[in-house]
């Protein structure tokens, strides 16, 4: 199984529009982060996690021509704003398979009424939405375990585990029962926004605390803000086994 990081930046991306900080002005390609998303190739299926506003650019950059399913973590724009650009992948009978919570499904219908039923506009994407709950589910060929995490005290979202890979973004609080679901993870992807605390995202120390509790062989940080500092400097301060992901990074599990 291989994961490709299509984007590793927070909601504004890095560089942030109009920002004059050294990270946003860095010439290092590792300091350029599109909105967070990943593509997992299990060997039999290619599964996209989140489809943000940079999706089109990500597909063009990495030359990915086929995707079999989308898992959505939550419906914030930085994770779902690229849905319309799924059009080239919507050739399947019945529409492109999307796995998401009931709340996310409602948001998709509200934002994109022209994709459904009588309002369907010619050539707009067609979706086959599978509503998931906390129980493990199967895409066409892949077993997936939802990982419920708290983005804010009122917003419960999903990370996902596929085999020995666990992928969590936009988590602020990790429930104890989800920590149990993470046991035995070989490669853990987890969000770390910046050094200072934040109301809806883990900071670096909070992410390290979860990594220390899970003890994966390898941990990769994502959903990174310009406030984390230069990639070249920030990666040197991380404990062994923890590294920042970067756009285009591929990791074999
Ligand atoms: Zn986000
Ligand atoms: Zn900046
Ligand atoms: Zn979010």
pLDDT at 62 over 90: no
- Tens-digit pLDDT profile for residues 236-246: 999 999 999 99
pLDDT at 65 over 80: no
Residues with CB under 5 A from ligand 2 (ion): 16, 19, 21, 24, 226
- Give 22-90 as a DSSP string: TTTT---GGG-BPBSEEEEE-SS-EEEE---TTHHHHHHHHT-----EEE-S---HHHHTTGGGGGGGT
| pLDDT value of position 124 | 93
pLDDT at 92 over 90: no
Domains and CATH numbers, the chain: 2-252 (3.60.15.10)
CA–CA separation, 251 vs 141, rounded Å?
21
Ligand 2 geometric centre to CA of 159 (Å): 27
Q: Give percent of the chain above pLDDT 70.
A: 100
Ligand sitting nearest the alpha carbon of 75: 3
Residues with CB under 5 A from ligand 1 (ion): 11, 78, 170
Ligand sitting nearest the alpha carbon of 25: 2
Ligand 2 geometric centre to CA of 220 (Å): 22
Ligand sitting nearest the alpha carbon of 223: 1
Q: Under DSSP, is residue 177 helix (H, G, I), strand (E, B) or coil?
A: helix
Ligand 1 geometric centre to CA of 162 (Å): 21
Q: If you average pLDDT over residues 63-90, what whole number do you get?
A: 94
Ligand 3 geometric centre to CA of 238 (Å): 24
pTM: 0.97
Task: Report residue 91's pLDDT band, with 50, 70 and 90 as the boundaries.
Answer: confident
CA–CA separation, 166 vs 185, rounded Å?
6
Q: If you average pLDDT over residues 35-46, what whole number do you get?
A: 97
pLDDT at 177 over 90: yes
């Amino acid at each position: 199984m291989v994961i490709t990081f299509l984007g590793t930046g927070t909601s504004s991306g890095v560089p942030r529009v109009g920002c004059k900080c050294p990270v946003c002005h860095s010439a290092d390609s590792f300091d350029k982060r599109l909105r967070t998303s990943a593509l997992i190739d299990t060997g039999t299926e290619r599964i996209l996690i989140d489809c943000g506003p940079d999706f089109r650019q990500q597909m063009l950059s990495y030359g990915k021509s086929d995707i079999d399913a989308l898992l959505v973590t939550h419906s914030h724009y930085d994770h779902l704003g690229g849905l319309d650009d799924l059009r080239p992948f919507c050739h399947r009978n019945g529409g492109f398979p999307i796995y998401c919570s009931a709340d996310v499904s409602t948001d998709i219908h509200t934002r994109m009424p022209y994709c459904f039923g009588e309002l369907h506009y010619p050539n707009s994407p067609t979706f086959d939405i599978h509503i998931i709950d906390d129980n493990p589910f199967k895409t066409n060929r892949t077993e997936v375990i939802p990982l419920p995490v708290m983005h804010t005290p009122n917003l419960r979202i999903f990370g996902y585990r596929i085999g020995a890979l666990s992928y969590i973004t936009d988590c602020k609080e990790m429930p104890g029962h989800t920590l149990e679901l993470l046991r035995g993870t070989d490669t853990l992807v987890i969000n770390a926004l910046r050094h200072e605390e934040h109301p809806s995202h883990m900071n670096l120390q909070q992410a390290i605390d979860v990594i220390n509790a899970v003890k994966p062989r390898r941990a990769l940080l994502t959903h990174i803000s310009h406030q984390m500092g230069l990639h070249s400097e920030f990666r040197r301060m991380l404990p062994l086994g923890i590294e920042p992901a970067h756009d285009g990074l591929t990791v074999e599990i």
